[in-house]
Every structure is written in C-alpha cells, then in structure tokens.
C-alpha cells in the first residue's frame, strides 16, 4: 500500500527525489517525504485527541502541493479518511460536500480562506485549520519533532479516501476508495503506461480528482518514481517543463481540452513531446483525428478510460506508434486486474461488434457511495459495476467509447450516439467546441440539437453544418437544430453538462 511503499523507498533509496514543486523548485526526497508525513500525522493526532482521527474524515481544500501529498500520506498513517475538496466549486457547492463528509478536521489553504467561514457553518463540529507555511497547521507540525505515531496497518477493505464525482448527472456523490482500490489502480495504470522507479511524471491534473490523486500521484510514489507537482494547468508552463531536459519528464496526463490547448499554443514544439514515454489523455472523448495529429508528430499519445469509481479500466499500450495510429479513437485494452463486459439493456452480453453498456469488475472498483445506499445498489448488478457508458469491442479486443446510455437518443427508430456526432462537428473549420443532445420531434420522435462554440469571426448556418456532415454521418445522425453559444456549461472537471443544456431548452 502507498504509505508502506513510501516507507520502503525512504529506507532503500532515501536520497532519491520523491516530489518536486516545479513552481518553487522545492525538492523532497523519499526520506524527507516519509518523515514529513509522519510529523503531519502526529500534529493531526494531537489536534484531534489521541486516537480520535482513526476512521474520521479529514477534508482538505487546496491546490496541488507538497503539503497536499503529505496530508494524504498522513491520513494513511492515522487510518483517517482523506477528503480532497474541489477548489473550483462555489462556496455553496463546497458547503454541500462538507456537510455530506462531516469532517473532524477541515484544512484550508490560505488562498481559499474567504470560504472557510461558510464551510465551518456546514460542518459545525469540525476544527478548521489553515494550510501553509505561515498557517496554523504548519505551527503544529513544526512542534512535532518526535512523530509519536505508529502507522496504521493497511488492509484491502480499509476506507482511505472519499472522492466526489464530477456531477454531470446532478449532485456529486462521494465515492469510497479503499486501500485495496488505491493499490490496484496504481498497479493497473503503472503497468499500462510503464511507470517505474525511473519515471518522472508531471502532474497538473488536480489532486481532488481520481487522475491527479490516484492515477498519477499514488502510481508514481508506489513505484518509487519522481512526481513533479504543478499547482494548476498552464499551457505555456507545461510546454516549458516538458521541453526542459533538466526535468527529464517521461510521462504526462491531460484531458483532451488541455491537449488541444498545448497544440494551439504558439510555443508548441512536437519535438519536445517525443521524449515522453507516454502522453496519456482521458477524462473525456478524444477524437481519432486529434490523436492521429499527435501520432503523426511522433508523440506516443495514448487514450484511456476510467472513472472515479474504478480508476484505470482501459488503456492503449504506448510502445507501438503504428498500432496507435491504426487504433486511433480507441481507449484500448482492459487493465491487468479488470474484467469487462458489454451488456444490452436487458442485461445480456452483446454479440460481436454490438454496442453495449460497459460493466466492470475487479479490485480497483469502489464498494459504493458514502451514505447513499440507494445509489450504491443501483450501480451494481450481480457484483458488476454498471458504468452507464456505451462502447464497442473490435475483433482485436480494443474498445471504442460510443456515449453515455442516458445521452443516446432514438431518431426514426435508429440509435444516435451524440459523442460520434460531436467528434465530426469538432473537426469542422472554426468549431472550437461542440455538444449534441436529443430533442423531441413530431416526425422522427427525436432529433439532434447541436450547440457550437465558434472561433472569432466565424459563422455557420444550420445548412452549412448539415452539408459538411453528410459525407461523414448517416442522415438520421445529422443535427436538425443549431445553437451558437459563447460557451458550453461544464462541470468543474471540464465535462459538458448535458443536463444543463436540456434545462436551458425547457426554461
């Protein structure tokens, strides 16, 4: 498990760099990280009262930092449940999450101190501490020279973290992550993209998200590699860092919107990315054309599929550029300890080339949602986690995502998957973003309504959009309505909120 792995690396390779804050240049060895996390654990234990923290929730609101990593490890030492909060949310949204988690301790970075009072009201029993070198937590840590904490024993079923879902289907749910889930996720991802003790992984995905905290941070530290910590994504800064041979970055993970921002930036140089062993994309659909653009530049751009409830489930192998080019648009093969089924609406396995809902089973799959028995029971059937995502599997066993079951609509008796239509729309010149939803139609039952964000000085009519789509899409898939908007409604993790588009139409 993570804390044991860090303790081992602290003994076996004490002087090796575990973490580097790329903004400040602050470097922490494995020996230093282990000691720092034990001192943090001792401080939290004294603040809460000896033994009170075990099994309690410790919520943290702050950007990616060395302290955030240390607190995550400190909670593992104490047997506490780490609850990273999404700093992109409003005070009201954060208050709802804090109320659900009911933390014993709430640690807030000084940057977000203005919302601390609102969060204190949401969890009146919580102690509120400031995170940072001049904050109250650091004052207590500095006085814990003798750690005095005996690290808690790990166990596959021990709950270690609550991670909140993105909220694309309504109120976010708190996903329970156990020690076993976390370890399996790190193993699945590490094997899929080749993370080992020589890896240097740049992380600017937020650590309140499964990718930032588990897919990247846990995987790197469990393997004994080096984690480069960035507080947030900046295309210019990421390009500089990947191009810097002194940093020696071998791996990078981003969502497709970030990948596009990197390519669109004036400083983009594909030669810098060719040094990467893997540039992973995920979190949202990445079109085949966009992936091929990276491949043509000689970059090992690998797409994958996972979720908060499962961690890494599917991924493309990064070592064969010709395979990546041929399979562009696929999210790859099942991870080492994941079983996958494609199931129709009647619960039957689909035939070859058929589309079905992805069902998953394996040690990385969550046991359920925190204090939400109804949602937990609805998510599972016969021990399989029902993802709600639709995919096809080709003859070689590679999976391609189609869409969410709930977003699919039926036009003239034919199934339409909006993600397929959106991929075509996003390739049209001048289209920056695209989203499609099904809307009622008297003749066809439902038709597609396209929402487009256009580049400056670009204008498209419905007739022009339809004409450009005819060569790529069947007639029933072509949108019958067009709405030009300044921006698409998105969750704090960047996913399009289709529910908000539907609500907008109804209001």
**Does the domain at residues 30-179 carry the CATH identifier 3.40.50.12780?**
yes
Across the chain, what does the average pLDDT equal? 91
- Could you read off the pLDDT of 310-347 as tens digits, one per residue? 999 999 999 999 999 999 999 999 999 999 999 998 88
Among 219, 224, 226, which Cα is nearest to 190's?
Answer: 219
Q: Are 254 and 205 in contact (CB under 8 A)?
A: yes
* pLDDT score for 134: 64
CB 152 within 8 A of CB 54: yes
Note the CATH architecture for domain 408-506: 2-Layer Sandwich (3.30)
The pLDDT score that the predictor gives to residue 325 is: 96
pLDDT of residue 124: 87
Looking at residue 415, what is its pLDDT? 81
Residues of the chain scoring pLDDT < 50: 168-169
Q: Is the fold of 233-404 the same as that of 408-506?
A: no
Give the pair of three-digit tokens for residue 218.
């846990």
Give the burial class of 397: count Cβ atoms within 10 A of its Cβ; 0-12 exposed, 13-18 middle, 19 or more buried: exposed
CATH fold of 233-404 reads: Rossmann fold (3.40.50)
Residue 265: other Cβ atoms inside 10 A: 14
Pairing mode, strands 399-404 and 409-411: unpaired
Q: What is the dihedral of CA 162, 166, 167, 173, to 10 degrees?
A: -10
Token pair of 408 as six digits? 């699919």
| Cα–Cα distance for residue pair 334/96, rounded to 1 Å | 35
Closest CA to 70 of 79, 82, 57, 88: 82
pLDDT at 131: 84
The pLDDT of residue 493: 63
CA-CA distance, 273 to 433, in Å (whole number)? 25
Structure tokens at 114: 């203005």
The torsion angle over the Cα atoms of residues 460, 463, 465 and 469, rounded to 10 degrees, is -160
Tell me how far apart the alpha carbons of residues 9 and 16 are, in angstroms, rounded to a whole number.
8
The residue extents of the domains of the chain are 30-179, 233-404, 408-506
Encoding tokens for residue 337? Answer: 């300890």
Query: Model pTM?
Result: 0.87
Q: Residue 332 pairs with which residues in a beta bridge?
A: 399
pLDDT of 347-374, one tens digit each? 899 987 788 999 999 999 999 999 999 9
What is the C-alpha R_g of the chain? 23
Segment 87-93 long-range contacts (CB within 8 Å, at least 24 positions apart): 87/61, 87/62, 87/63, 87/111, 87/112, 87/206, 87/208, 88/206, 88/492, 89/492, 91/115, 91/118, 91/119, 92/118
Cα(371)–Cα(175) distance, integer angstroms: 10
């Amino acid at each position: 498990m993570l804390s044991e792995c860090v303790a081992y690396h602290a003994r076996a390779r004490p002087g090796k760099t575990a973490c580097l804050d790329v903004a400040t240049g602050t470097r922490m060895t494995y020996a230093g990280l282990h000691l720092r996390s034990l001192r943090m654990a001792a401080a939290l234990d004294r603040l809460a009262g000896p033994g009170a923290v075990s099994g309690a929730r410790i919520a943290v609101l702050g950007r990616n930092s060395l302290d955030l990593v240390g607190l995550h490890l400190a909670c593992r030492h104490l047997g506490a449940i780490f609850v990273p909060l999404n700093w992109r949310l409003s005070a009201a949204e954060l208050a709802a999450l804090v109320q659900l988690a009911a933390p014993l301790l709430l640690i807030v970075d000084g940057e977000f101190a203005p919302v601390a009072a609102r969060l204190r009201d949401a969890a009146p029993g919580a102690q509120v501490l400031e995170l940072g070198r001049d904050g109250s937590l650091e004052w207590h840590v500095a006085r814990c020279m003798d750690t005095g904490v005996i690290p808690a024993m790990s166990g596959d079923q021990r709950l270690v973290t609550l991670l909140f879902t993105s909220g694309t289907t309504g109120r976010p749910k708190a996903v329970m992550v156990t020690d076993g889930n976390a370890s399996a996720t790190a193993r699945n991802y590490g094997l899929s993209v080749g993370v080992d003790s020589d890896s240097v992984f740049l992380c600017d995905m937020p650590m309140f998200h499964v990718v930032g905290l588990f897919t990247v941070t846990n995987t790197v530290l469990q393997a004994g590699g080096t984690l480069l910590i960035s507080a947030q994504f900046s295309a210019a800064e990421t390009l500089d860092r990947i191009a810097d041979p002194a940093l020696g970055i071998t791996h990078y993970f981003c969502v497709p919107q970030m990948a596009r921002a990197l390519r669109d930036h004036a400083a983009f140089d594909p030669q810098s990315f060719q040094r990467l062993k893997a540039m992973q994309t995920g979190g949202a659909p990445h079109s085949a054309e966009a992936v091929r653009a990276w491949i043509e530049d000689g970059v090992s751009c690998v797409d994958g599929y996972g979720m908060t409830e499962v961690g890494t489930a599917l991924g493309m192998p990064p070592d064969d550029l010709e395979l990546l080019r041929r399979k562009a648009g696929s999210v790859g093969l099942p991870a080492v300890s994941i079983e996958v089924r494609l199931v129709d609406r009647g619960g039957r396995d689909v035939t070859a080339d058929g589309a079905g809902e992805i069902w998953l089973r394996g040690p990385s799959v969550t046991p359920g949602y925190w204090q939400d028995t109804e949602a937990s029971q609805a998510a599972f059937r016969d021990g399989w986690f029902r993802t709600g995502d639709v995919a096809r599997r080709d003859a070689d066993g590679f999976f391609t995502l189609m869409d969410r079951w709930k977003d699919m609509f039926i036009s003239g008796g034919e199934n339409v998957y909006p993600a397929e239509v959106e991929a075509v729309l996003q390739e049209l010149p001048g289209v920056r973003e695209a989203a499609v939803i099904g809307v009622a139609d008297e003749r066809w039952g439902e038709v597609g309504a396209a929402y487009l964000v256009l580049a400056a000085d670009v204008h498209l009519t419905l007739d022009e959009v339809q004409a450009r789509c005819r060569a790529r899409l069947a007639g029933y898939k072509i949108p019958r309505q067009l709405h030009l908007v300044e921006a698409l409604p998105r969750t704090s993790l960047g996913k399009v909120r289709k529910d908000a588009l539907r609500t907008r139409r109804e209001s």
